Amino acid sequence: MTDARITTHPILEFKEGRKVRFTFDGRELDGYEGEPIAAALHAAGVRVLGESPKLKRPRGFFCAIGNCSSCLMTVDGRPNVRVCTEKLREGMCVTTQRGKGVLFAND
Amino acid sequence: MAVNRRADAVVIGGGVVGASIAYHLARRGFGRIALVERSYLASGSTGRCGAGVRQQWGTRLNCLLARESVRMFERMEDELGYDRSIEFKQGGYLLLAYTDREMNQFVKNVELEQSLGIPASLLTPAEARAIVPMLNAGDVLCATYCPTDGHANPFHVTYAYVGAARRLGVEVMTFTEVKGIVVENGRVARVVCDRGVIDTGVVVNAAGPYSGLVARMAGVEIPFWAERHQILVTEPVEPVLRPMVMSFSRRIYCQQTPHGSFIMGMADPNEQPGFSTESSWKFLVEMAREITRVLPPVGDLKVVRQWAGLYDMTPDAHPILGATPVEGFYLACGFSGHGFMLAPVTGRLISEIICDEKPSIDITGLDLGRFERGELVVEPSVV
């Protein structure tokens, strides 16, 4: 889906780094190092990034500048990561967040 | 709307303390009661507070007042007929000791608390960690824990009291500022507001940090100052922290609300008296640094906003409750950061005093005269 790749953004820089691998809900995907995680997901055809807090409706790319909380995901175990501004790195583990996110496992 | 009327009692201050007093007076059938607030309900210290409710104190009096307040919080929704939740979460308070001095104080405090039936206990760092697994117990010497402590929503508690007070006929006058108190022949005669005059024989000063100014209107000087305290709230996450975690030597407290956000505050020992409620960058940096040491995973949370509120301070960190040399002029102020948790019992006690009943807890030691007599009740355990 190369046509879905975002190459320009009015605010963020999109430097195309080296190709890296990461996982999304266990699926292996490719992206470019340094691009926002959401851009890599978008290029891979992923449109649903999270769910609304109360009614659990699907939430996708919305503001794309780290403002709206529509794209909160769990990245490498950290909850509430705004993937529209978080830069992609090799081997990242990106998972869809259900609920408010888990800060710390008590047991 | 201009107000020119008569009331049997005027309560100044639409925070949680004033709301509780107005309700309790009305429940005792004291007659026509007006609750006067210069802004909106809970707009001052109440709506800005850390919302903790604890019974672990260093003085007998604070223990007794807090113990009774907890009982009142436990049945508040039923008593006040509140159809929503006051969000009273009894997840306990975990107090951390980092110094020998603190540890010695904690041993004394727990002994006192247990003698008064407060279920507090002394814990080892490992036991503290069993209650809060994310705790960095490395430099903790010991802790105390009381499972029936907790926190509640200060807005809901205020609205619960005001709603019940209204149903009992209390007139709630928001956006009405008191400009003067007229005293004739040594007793209260009327309250002058920006929207009119209320003739009354009883005035209760529950103006929080502005109580010093209100007292002066009646010609009463109280040893008292306002002090800014800052606080912040984070994004919500799933429930993970049950108790309020607090340290006196680090001057911090932190709780997770039922909604999932963390609320935390930190006192600045160099804070000067004043009415500023501005937020500072310095607080944000220091708060983040301290909480990340005590509860490291919290460092990953994003701050949603920060704000500040005012403590109404007295020289001994105890409230000033009761009558004054001006007949009919009563004080319920000087809570020194603990007004929210003491509000339920304060309302009852002040209403008992005004109705000439014997107060259900002996609070003669908390009168204004203690400062002149030099009989201060110093509380060692405050943030």
pLDDT one-digit tens code per residue, B108-127: 999 999 999 999 999 999 99
Could you tell me how many CB contacts below 8 A there are between chain A and chain B?
33
Structure tokens at B369: 């005269």
Residue of B nearest to A67 (CA): B304
How far does the CA of residue A98 sit from the closest CA of chain B (Å)?
A: 10
pLDDT of residue A2: 54
Here the ipTM equals 0.84
HEC secondary structure over B78-94: HHHCCCCCCCCECCCEE
- Inter-residue contact B233 to B305 (CB < 8 Å): yes
pLDDT of residue A6: 84
pLDDT of residue A11: 82
A98 contacts in chain B (CB < 8 Å): none
Residue type, B31: G
pLDDT of residue A1: 46
Does some domain include residue B194?
Answer: yes
Does some domain include residue B327?
Answer: yes
Taking the C-alpha atoms of residue B39 and residue B245, their distance in angstroms, rounded to an integer, is 32
Residue contact B301–A102, C-beta within 8 A: no
pLDDT of residue B1: 46
Domain identity same for B202 and B124: no
Taking the C-alpha atoms of residue B161 and residue A33, their distance in angstroms, rounded to an integer, is 57
- Overall average pLDDT of the B216-221 stretch: 98
**Which among A101, A106, A107 is the nearest to B237, CB-wise?**
A101
- The CATH number covering residue B365 comes to 3.50.50.60
Residue B3: pLDDT over 70: no
How far does the CA of residue B240 sit from the closest CA of chain A (Å)?
A: 7
Domain identity same for B9 and B28: yes
Percent of chain A with pLDDT over 70: 98
Q: Domain A13-95 falls in which CATH fold?
A: Ubiquitin-like (UB roll) (3.10.20)
Residue A20: pLDDT over 50: yes
Domain that holds residue B301: 89-149+225-312
How far does the CA of residue B142 sit from the closest CA of chain A (Å)?
A: 21
User: Which of A11-25, B235-249, B252-266, B340-354 bottoms out in mean pLDDT, i.e. has the lowest?
Assistant: A11-25
pLDDT of residue B239: 95
On the 0-12 / 13-18 / 19+ scale of CB atoms within 10 A, B73 is buried
Q: Please state the domain count of chain B.
A: 2
Taking the C-alpha atoms of residue B383 and residue B46, their distance in angstroms, rounded to an integer, is 17
Q: For residue A80, how far is the Cα from the chain centroid?
A: 10
Domain identity same for B128 and B273: yes
Residue contact B237–A102, C-beta within 8 A: yes
How far does the CA of residue A46 sit from the closest CA of chain B (Å)?
A: 24
**Which among B235, B240, B297 is the nearest to A80, CB-wise?**
B235
Residue of A nearest to B133 (CA): A106
Domain identity same for B236 and B214: no
Residue of B nearest to A69 (CA): B235
- The CATH number covering residue B129 comes to 3.30.9.10
Percent of chain B with pLDDT over 70: 99
| Secondary structure percentages of chain A, helix, strand, coil, to 5 | 10, 30, 65
Domain identity same for B230 and B219: no
- Count of Cβ atoms closer than 10 Å to residue A67 Cβ: 11
Domain identity same for B270 and B305: yes
How far does the CA of residue B234 sit from the closest CA of chain A (Å)?
A: 11
Domain identity same for B193 and B330: yes
- Overall average pLDDT of the A55-68 stretch: 92
Q: For residue B131, how far is the Cα from the chain centroid?
A: 26
Residue contact A101–B298, C-beta within 8 A: no
B136 contacts in chain A (CB < 8 Å): none
Residue contact A80–B302, C-beta within 8 A: yes
Does some domain include residue B261?
Answer: yes
Domain identity same for B293 and B331: no
**Domain end among B263, B285, B312:** B312
- Inter-residue contact A64 to A41 (CB < 8 Å): no
Alpha-carbon dihedral sign for residues B62, B64, B67, B68:
negative
- Overall average pLDDT of the A94-98 stretch: 95
| DSSP E strands, A25-77 | 27-32, 50-51, 58-59, 72-75
pLDDT of residue B331: 98
- Inter-residue contact B341 to B69 (CB < 8 Å): yes
A92: nearest Cα among A41, A57, A50: A41
**Mean pLDDT for all residues in chain A:** 91
- Overall average pLDDT of the B281-309 stretch: 96
**Domain end among B269, B286, B312:** B312
How far does the CA of residue A81 sit from the closest CA of chain B (Å)?
A: 10
- Overall average pLDDT of the B210-235 stretch: 97
Taking the C-alpha atoms of residue B279 and residue B224, their distance in angstroms, rounded to an integer, is 23
| Per-domain residue ranges of chain A | 13-95
Domain identity same for B210 and B330: yes
Task: Name every residue in B having a CB less than 8 A away from some CB of A.
Answer: 133-134, 235-238, 240, 260, 297-298, 300-302
- Overall average pLDDT of the B272-296 stretch: 97
Does some domain include residue B54?
Answer: no
**Domain end among B312, B347, B363:** B312
pLDDT of residue B344: 98
Q: Which long-range contacts (CB under 8 A, 24 or more apart) does B63-67 make?
A: B63/B112, B63/B113, B63/B116, B63/B118, B64/B116, B64/B361, B65/B342, B65/B345, B65/B346, B65/B361, B65/B363, B66/B338, B66/B341, B66/B342, B66/B345, B67/B116, B67/B117, B67/B118
- Inter-residue contact B244 to B149 (CB < 8 Å): yes
- The greatest distance separating any two alpha carbons of chain A, rounded to the nearest whole angstrom, comes to 45
- Count of residues in chain A: 107
A102 Cβ under 8 Å from any chain B Cβ = yes
Does some domain include residue B379?
Answer: no
A13 Cβ under 8 Å from any chain B Cβ = no
Q: What is the pLDDT of residues B332-359, one digit of tens each?
A: 999 999 999 999 999 999 999 999 999 9
Q: What is the pLDDT of residues B79-107, one digit of tens each?
A: 999 999 999 999 999 999 999 999 999 99
Residue B174: pLDDT over 90: yes
Taking the C-alpha atoms of residue B21 and residue B348, their distance in angstroms, rounded to an integer, is 7
Q: What is the pLDDT of residues B299-322, one digit of tens each?
A: 999 999 999 999 999 999 999 999
pLDDT of residue B2: 54
